[in-house]
């Protein structure tokens, strides 16, 4: 299933689910709750990390953090 | 007015610090939270005739922590018996980003303390087309005093004060206790629930004029900052500029400070009557204080630079592009600046590592920073290179001496990276490494914030590290001035008094006396005592003495050598010192300074942690003796082993 690590830039999605992990509670606290509007804006030179618009502000995520966010 | 202690909380990048600075000005001081390495920033706030303590807590997105800094916030609010549990709390919120900000606010609001909600950055909200129906909004949080401010422009501060003066609304709802800090799933559930409520509320009370305003267009500057070529290029340029600043620009005030303290010392010596106390003041205390003050220009410049990077928001872009490169070494994107600054001087470099919130990443940065050959080593390298490296050119254009210089720097940098990897695997940490970093809007720096930070850092250095440095300087002075009197007197008597009554002969005699006195002082004795230990590295007791005095500052090596070889301390010093050292022979009649021993000594200086000013600063930043001692030992061992290997290879 598509995650923030796999989707293309410039397209809007909604958070479907955040996979369980040691950092899940932190991700959700940053606004990545189920239903939130997200969009990948740009990526760092090695493709990692990526910058994501999360409901109006910009959050940079490592790929291993982004792949926990399932989107639809 | 019943509040004595008020806590200021809020997300990072909400202007909380601007508000704090605007309210407390220079009446702030940095203290300690019990048992942790986090700095406690508090200031005096005067409301009417009453002075209360305003504590600026670390910025956090939620009361549940992701780092040691943030845990302080959790600890304070989780128990009303905590020494810093406040009488009231002000939550600073970014009005243009209400959804995310209200998470922390609702968590704090429900604790039942007298609460103020500071709606800051309303101008940004306005620009983004976001309008708030204030009355409806207030109804959702009836027991909170809502105050609108624009801390950047200093607006709304009077409203803030008035709200406190009138007294915050009484609380009637029962206190809700915080979820256990380890119960992550419960926290997640709670957070989800809160966001549902916040979303519903904002749907009713907030209007966004241009729905597509949520669609962020990436601006040109942003694209430049994260570009694979221009992004790194620009950053490299900034680092070079920083290096130049700390290296050369700082040298002007530093030379002035040197001169001033030198003159003061001489004046004291000539004005006060001869004696122990005068000597202590002129040669122990004054140089000791001078040795501390001389770091101030570099600290000021570095933190000015850093402050601007942070305030403009550029720093988070630096972290963004450096993260992938630094991660394999257990370092953080933010480690670059401290490490690079350490190539000029590790003191401000180590202090700058405080911006790294992850404890392990910060610790590793601090532990390897002194390996980036600092500028104090340059006089030592220069002297030794001229002594043992031939002035040859290889491959047609590469100067051998320059190459050696470069090689020493490279050795330091490569070692730093390798040791980072080792530390990454050996240091255990409970904090999970995460990035999850907000990229705030790029903006012009708020100069007041920058200046206050610079002031703060300088103050911390002067008071904390300063004490240790002065103490050790005085000890070294005593050890270098005093020695067993019998032995010293005998040695001085054995120098033939000049027959010629010329000034030159007298000066020559004086220098020899000084050399002999130094040799027979306690430091001299120490030097001779460690000779067997350092002989395998190719050194003799004269070098041994200078190794010890280098603890005051590495560049003291040259001065000490000059004294020992009875060379006058003036411009001709290096030349005459060089020739004396070239002629120096050991008991077997072989030259002491050979390629092997020279290189060995250079490598020793790359690795050994001799600068006690660094030791003092590391102790301060890690708030313990453990880490600076570990650093001293590992670098010492590294220095010894590496020098030994080099000596064996080249001899």
- Summarised one tens digit per residue, pLDDT across range B431-441 is 788 888 999 99
- Answer whether residue B224 is part of any domain: no
> Are residues B425 and B289 both part of a single domain?
yes
Whether residue B204 sits in one domain with residue B244: no
Region B358-386 average pLDDT:
89
Residues B179 and B309 in one domain: no
- Which range has the worst mean pLDDT, B352-356, B512-516, B612-616, B644-648? B512-516
B397, B330: one domain: yes
Q: Which residues of B touch A37 (CB under 8 A)?
A: 214
CATH of the domain at B122: 3.40.50.300
Mention every residue, 6+ apart, whose C-beta is less than 8 A from residue B452. B21, B26, B28
**What is the domain extent for residue B141?**
5-213
Flag if B439 and A60 touch (Cβ within 8 Å): yes
pTM: 0.85
Q: Which of B447, B477, B512 is the last residue of a domain?
A: B447
**Residue B72, class by beta-carbon neighbours within 10 Å (0-12 exposed, 13-18 middle, 19+ buried)?**
buried
**Tell me, what's the pLDDT at B23?**
92
Give the model's pLDDT for residue B188.
95
Read off the pLDDT of each residue in B197-212 and give the average, rounded to a whole number.
85
CATH superfamily of A12-71: Ferrous iron transport protein A (FeoA) (2.30.30.90)
Predicted confidence (pLDDT) at residue B213 exceeds the cutoff of 50: no
Indicate if B196 and B327 belong to the same structural domain: no
For residues B265 and B324, membership in a common domain is answered with: yes
d(CA B346, CA B374) in angstroms, rounded, equals 7
The verdict on B359 and B282 lying in the same domain is yes
DSSP state string for B346-360: HHHHHHHGGG--SHH
- Chain A CB contacts of B187 under 8 Å are 25, 29
| A28-52 mean pLDDT | 94
CB contact at 8 A, B611 and B549? no
Of A8-17, B399-408, B439-448, which range is least confident? B399-408
pLDDT beyond 70 at B51: yes
What pLDDT score does B348 carry? 86
Using CB atoms, pick whichever of B64, B231, B434 lies closest to residue A45.
B231
Average pLDDT, chain A: 94
Mean pLDDT (chain B) is: 87
Q: Could you read off the pLDDT of B305-330 as tens digits, one per residue? A: 888 988 899 989 999 999 999 999 99
Per-residue pLDDT at B575: 65
Closest by Cα among B543, B485, B493 to B513: B493
In this prediction, residue B62 has a pLDDT band, given cuts at 50, 70 and 90, of very high
Lowest pLDDT segment from B61-70, B375-384, B630-639: B375-384
Q: CA B194 → CA A30, B77, B107, B459, distances in Å?
A: 12, 18, 9, 42
Question: Residue B226 and residue A29: Cβ atoms within 8 Å?
Answer: no
Q: What is the mean pLDDT of residues B590-613?
A: 88
Q: How far is CA B580 from CA B388, B561, B583, in A?
A: 13, 10, 5
Closest CA to B552 of B315, B177, B289: B289
3-state secondary structure of A43: strand
How high is the pLDDT of residue B200?
94
CA A1 to chain B, closest CA, distance in angstroms equals: 22
Are B271 and B159 contained in the same domain?
no
Residues of chain B whose beta carbon is less than 8 angstroms from a beta carbon of chain A are 61-62, 64, 66, 96-97, 99-100, 103, 128, 184-185, 187-188, 191-192, 195-196, 199, 214-216, 218, 222-223, 226-228, 231-232, 316, 319-321, 323-324, 432, 434-440
The answer to whether the bond into A49 is cis (omega within 30° of 0) is: yes
Please, which pLDDT band fits residue B232 given cuts at 50, 70 and 90? very high
Contact A23 B434 (CB under 8 A): yes
pLDDT tier for residue B430 given thresholds of 50, 70 and 90 = confident
- Same domain? For B70 and B206 the reply is yes
- Which range is most confident: B84-93, B468-477, B536-545? B84-93
Shared-domain flag, residues B147 and B53: yes
Structural domain contains residue B194: yes
- CA B264, CA B134: separation in Å to the nearest integer? 63
Residue B217's pLDDT is: 60
On whether the CB atoms of residues B485 and B525 are closer than 8 A, the answer is: no
Q: Are B99 and A56 inside 8 Å of each other by CB?
A: yes
| Least confident window among A5-19, B468-482, B573-587 | B573-587
B253 domain-assigned: yes
Could you report the per-residue pLDDT of B538-580, keeping only the tens digit for each? 888 888 888 888 887 777 787 778 777 766 555 555 667 777 7
Residue A32 has pLDDT above 60, yes or no: yes
Whether the pLDDT of residue B490 is over 90: the answer is: no
The residue-averaged pLDDT of B54-73 equals 92
**DSSP letters of B138-183?**
HHHSTTEEEEE-BGGGTBTHHHHHHHHHH-PPPP-SPPPPPPPTT-
Q: Is residue B251 part of a domain?
A: yes
pLDDT at residue B639, as a whole number = 94
Angle at B378 between CA B392 and CA B326, to 5 degrees: 100
One domain for residues B49 and B187: yes
Per-residue confidence band for B262, with pLDDT thresholds at 50, 70 and 90: confident
Final residue before a domain boundary, out of B424, B447, B470: B447
Distance from CA of A13 to the nearest CA of B (A): 12
Partners of A53 in the beta sheet?
A39, A58
- For B542-551, how does the pLDDT look when each residue is reduced to its tens digit (9 = 90+)? 888 888 888 8
How distant is the Cα of B219 from the closest Cα of chain A, in angstroms? 11
Q: Is the pLDDT of residue B585 over 90?
A: no
Comparing B232-241, B291-300, B485-494, the range with the smallest average pLDDT is B485-494
The answer to which of B72-76, B368-372, B396-400, B527-531 has the lowest mean pLDDT is: B396-400
Question: pLDDT tens across B143-196, in order?
Answer: 999 999 988 888 899 999 999 999 999 888 767 789 999 999 999 999 999 999
Instruction: Report chain A residues whose CB lies below 8 A from the CB of B99.
Output: 31, 55-56
Domain residue ranges in chain A: 12-71
Interface of chain A against chain B, CB under 8 Å? 12, 20, 22-31, 33-37, 39, 41-46, 48-49, 51, 53-62, 65
pLDDT in tens, B13-49: 999 999 999 999 888 888 878 777 788 899 999 998 8
* Counted domains in chain B: 2
Task: Give the C-alpha separation, B547 to B578, whole Å.
Answer: 18
Residues contacting residue B619 through CB under 8 Å, at least 6 positions apart: B468, B625, B627, B628
Q: For residue A12, give the chain B residue with the closest CA.
A: B215
pLDDT at A13 over 60: yes
Provide the token pair at B599: 């290189």
Both tokens of B389, joined, read 């490296």
Amino acid B491: pLDDT? 81
């Amino acid at each position: 299933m598509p995650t923030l690590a796999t989707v293309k830039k410039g397209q809007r999605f909604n958070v479907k689910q955040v996979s369980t992990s040691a950092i899940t509670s932190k991700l959700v606290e940053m606004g990545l709750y189920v239903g939130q509007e997200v969009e990948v804006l740009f990526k760092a030179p090695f493709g990692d990390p990526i910058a994501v618009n999360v409901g109006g502000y910009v959050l940079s995520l490592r790929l291993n953090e982004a792949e926990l966010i399932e989107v639809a | 007015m019943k509040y004595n202690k008020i806590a200021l909380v809020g997300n990072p990048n909400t202007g909380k610090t601007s508000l704090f600075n605007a309210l407390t000005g220079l009446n702030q001081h940095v203290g300690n939270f019990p048992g942790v390495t986090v700095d406690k920033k508090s200031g005096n706030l005067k409301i009417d005739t009453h002075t209360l303590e305003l504590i600026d807590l670390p910025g956090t997105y939620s009361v549940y922590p992701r780092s040691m800094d943030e845990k302080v916030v959790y600890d304070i609010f989780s128990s009303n018996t905590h020494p810093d549990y406040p009488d009231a709390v002000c939550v600073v919120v970014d009005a243009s980003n209400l959804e995310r900000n209200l998470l922390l606010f609702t968590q704090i609001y429900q604790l039942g303390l007298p609460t103020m909600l500071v709606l800051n950055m309303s101008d940004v909200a306005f620009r983004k087309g976001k309008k708030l129906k204030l009355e409806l909004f207030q109804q959702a949080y009836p027991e909170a005093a809502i105050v609108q401010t624009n801390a950047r422009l200093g607006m709304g501060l009077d409203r803030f004060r008035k709200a406190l003066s009138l007294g915050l609304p009484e609380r009637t709802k029962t206190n809700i206790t915080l979820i256990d800090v380890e119960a992550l799933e419960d926290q997640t559930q709670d957070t989800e629930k809160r966001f549902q409520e916040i979303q519903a509320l904002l749907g009713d009370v907030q209007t966004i004029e241009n729905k597509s305003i949520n669609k962020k267009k990436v601006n040109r500057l942003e694209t430049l900052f994260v570009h694979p070529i221009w992004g790194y290029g620009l950053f490299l340029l900034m680092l070079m500029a920083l290096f130049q600043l700390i290296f050369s620009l700082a040298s002007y005030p530093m030379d002035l400070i040197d001169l001033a303290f030198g003159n003061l010392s001489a004046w004291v010596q000539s004005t006060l009557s001869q004696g122990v106390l005068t000597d202590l003041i002129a040669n122990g205390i004054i140089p000791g204080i001078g040795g501390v003050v001389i770091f101030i220009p570099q600290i000021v410049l570095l933190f000015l630079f850093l402050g601007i990077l942070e305030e403009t928001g550029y720093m988070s872009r630096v972290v963004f592009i450096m993260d992938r490169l630094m991660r394999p070494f257990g370092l953080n994107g933010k480690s670059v600046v401290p490490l690079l600054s350490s190539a000029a001087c590790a003191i401000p470099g180590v202090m700058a590592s405080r911006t790294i919130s992850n404890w392990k990443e910060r610790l590793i940065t601090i532990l390897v920073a002194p390996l980036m050959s600092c500028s104090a080593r340059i006089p030592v390298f220069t002297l030794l290179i001229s002594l043992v490296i031939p002035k040859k050119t290889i491959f047609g254009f590469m100067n051998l001496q320059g190459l050696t210089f470069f090689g020493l720097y490279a050795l330091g940098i490569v070692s730093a990276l390798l040791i980072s990897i080792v530390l990454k695997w050996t240091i255990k940490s409970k904090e999970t490494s995460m990035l999850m970093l907000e990229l705030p809007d790029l903006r012009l720096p708020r100069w007041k914030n920058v200046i206050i930070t610079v002031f703060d850092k300088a103050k911390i250095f002067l008071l904390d590290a300063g004490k240790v440095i002065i103490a050790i300087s005085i000890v070294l002075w005593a050890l270098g001035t005093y020695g067993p009197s019998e032995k010293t007197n005998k040695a001085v008597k054995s120098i033939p008094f000049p027959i010629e009554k010329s000034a030159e002969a007298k000066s020559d005699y004086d220098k020899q006396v000084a050399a002999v006195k130094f040799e027979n002082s306690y430091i001299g004795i120490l030097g001779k005592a460690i000779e067997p230990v350092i002989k395998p590295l190719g050194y003799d007791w004269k070098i041994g003495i200078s190794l010890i005095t280098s603890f005051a500052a590495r560049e003291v090596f040259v001065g000490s050598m000059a004294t020992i070889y009875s060379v006058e301390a003036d411009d001709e010093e290096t030349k005459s010192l060089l020739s004396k050292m070239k002629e120096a022979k050991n008991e077997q009649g072989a030259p002491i300074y050979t390629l092997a021993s020279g290189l060995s000594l250079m490598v020793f200086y790359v690795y050994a942690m001799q600068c006690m000013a660094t030791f003092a600063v590391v102790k301060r930043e890690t708030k313990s003796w453990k880490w600076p001692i570990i650093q001293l030992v590992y670098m010492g061992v590294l220095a010894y082993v590496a020098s030994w290997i080099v000596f064996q290879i080249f001899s």
